[in-house]
Structure 1
């Protein structure tokens, strides 16, 4: 579909006529000598008697100049070709996965009974990879934590990169401890930073923190519950997932009440996965609690066409000059031919 962004430009269409009427070309009258052979001289040059010194333009010349003016106005009106609207799907949820890499994640108690032993981290990697592949409408981020939290991948739609970086993570890579509160605080800062850097987006994304851990907080600078309250203020839902057998985790009993409190404060939900199969059930439940979402926008591609009338007007200007040059050469040749004929006659 063709449209013009500056339709007012066509109001200038009668400008040449108005200039001609309101501000005509300057002319002055002078006395001249009347000679009997003046008409013959005009006829010899192929011209008509004019009331002014400026030679009257021919019709084709006027037509070409008016065409140039019209084309320039079309270019000024800025013609744009609009294509059919294109549907654009934008992720409507940011899901940050925080993986505990403390020493206890190497415990070989995460395989279902009767199968080969599997570490908690290995089982978490497998389930998270399958979970990420199935989530088409989410942006994924990856954070690992131990003695301190570390961002491995900012929010991205590249699920293969998420899986690759997750696979490269190793136990104790971030230290042997479990700084749970610091991890939540770091996640809060990352969500906040991402929101500040994407102010141009029109989509209000849901914010979800999937917090995988197998032990208690090891003395974070920010208490976990206080960090959870900050996250709740930003609209972040926390889904804590406790991995492994509760009775076999670390030297002391795991504070499940604290993990449940983190979920309650932020509007999330607490899960406990004793093995890989249970974690797969947790991921399926998360799919139901937080279904994939898309924000649908429509974008209409456009293409500027103003350069075409500009190009045509330039070609017409050259055509006018070529035409005038041709006419001048033609008249000179006719005059020279007439003079040579007179000399031969004499």
Structure 2
């Protein structure tokens, strides 16, 4: 048995209590006539006897004594509140909730990102590659994913399962959310995701990857950023590609910078794979991991099991004696 412990070991001093009661407390006595006959006096006179007070003491059987001793031992043991250590459990305290907002407008299919070996990638594939590296370094954070174009939708709620998150990211394709860029609506949806998070973190970070200006959101990006700032959400924005030639029209970097500044974060411009990697490396330094885990073995109390055993034993014995008495009466009646 794994490390049996007693919360109140002093309770065992009660074990000899029944013996002390047996020794120092006399048995209950009751006075009553043992026999009633109209000629009792004549019988005594004939026998030359005088009336005496008789005493009878009921003695329990051996199995009854055993049951009483066992029951008392179980009750005292339950009072001591025994417990054992359960299986090892791990408690994880996640550091940050990081919500990724990825632009899927048609311009994200532009293959103008150059890698270290000279090959080219589409902006979306470049973003996927750097996200895989970024996620792998942050095992203590929970990640969510919002994809946006003409509209924004949640691709992945917050999860610590990196493989699931990456697999759902891999399913993202340009144009699946429309051809335009509704950045303000995407930020607004991100704020709602943070508000509805059942296990909110104190550190809430939003990272936006986009290559174009907002083209018709119900809420302007700057206004959405003000709401995010009021709720303590940081928004890092990464403008992908040349800001003078990307998206449906040249990107308004003033808006991008304003969104990040309002939330006490930073904005970045990534015109190739190397710049995109640097942006995420800097975000990784600005928002370091805050993760901790602790292993423990919970205590499992056993006292209610002991009480249950006592009750079950007495119930069985009472039932057995009742049935035995019923059968005895039936036999006498049949005779």
Normalised TM-score (structure 1):
0.74
When residues 236 and 60 of structure 1 are mapped into structure 2, their CA distance, relative to the original with a 3 A threshold, is: same
Q: Per the alignment, in what secondary structure is the counterpart of residue 280 of structure 1?
A: helix
When residues 198 and 11 of structure 1 are mapped into structure 2, their CA distance, relative to the original with a 3 A threshold, is: farther
Q: Which has the higher contact order (CA 8 A, sep 6+)?
A: 1
8 Å Cα contact 1:147/1:176 also seen in 2:
yes
| 1:119 maps onto 2:116 in alignment | no
Return the offset for 1:23: 11
Match of 1:94 in 2: 97
CA RMSD, 1 decimal: 3.8
Q: Per the alignment, in what secondary structure is the counterpart of residue 246 of structure 1?
A: coil
Q: Per the alignment, in what secondary structure is the counterpart of residue 187 of structure 1?
A: helix
| 1:152 maps onto 2:155 in alignment | yes
Match of 1:273 in 2: 270
Return the offset for 1:182: 0.5
| 1:305 maps onto 2:306 in alignment | no
Return the offset for 1:316: 7.4
**Residue deviations 1:278-337 (CA, integer Å, cap 9, x gap):** 11111111111111111445644122323653476479769999xx9xxxxxxxxxxxxx
Match of 2:172 in 1: 169
Q: Per the alignment, in what secondary structure is the counterpart of residue 113 of structure 2?
A: coil
Which stretches in structure 1 are left out of the alignment for 5+ residues?
36-49, 325-346
Normalised TM-score (structure 2):
0.77
8 Å Cα contact 2:243/2:253 also seen in 1:
no
Return the offset for 1:78: 4.0
Please identify, of 81-90 and 221-230, the stretch whose mean Cα deviation from structure 2 is larger.
81-90
| 1:80 maps onto 2:80 in alignment | no
8 Å Cα contact 2:15/2:72 also seen in 1:
no
Which stretches in structure 2 are left out of the alignment for 5+ residues?
45-53, 322-335
How many residue pairs end up in the alignment?
Answer: 302
Return the offset for 1:55: 2.0
Q: Distance in 2 between matches of 1:148 and 1:58?
A: 85
Q: Per the alignment, in what secondary structure is the counterpart of residue 286 of structure 1?
A: helix
Match of 2:228 in 1: 231
Q: 2:58 aligns with which of 32, 50, 55?
A: 55
Match of 1:257 in 2: 254
Please identify, of 100-109 and 280-289, the stretch whose mean Cα deviation from structure 2 is larger.
280-289
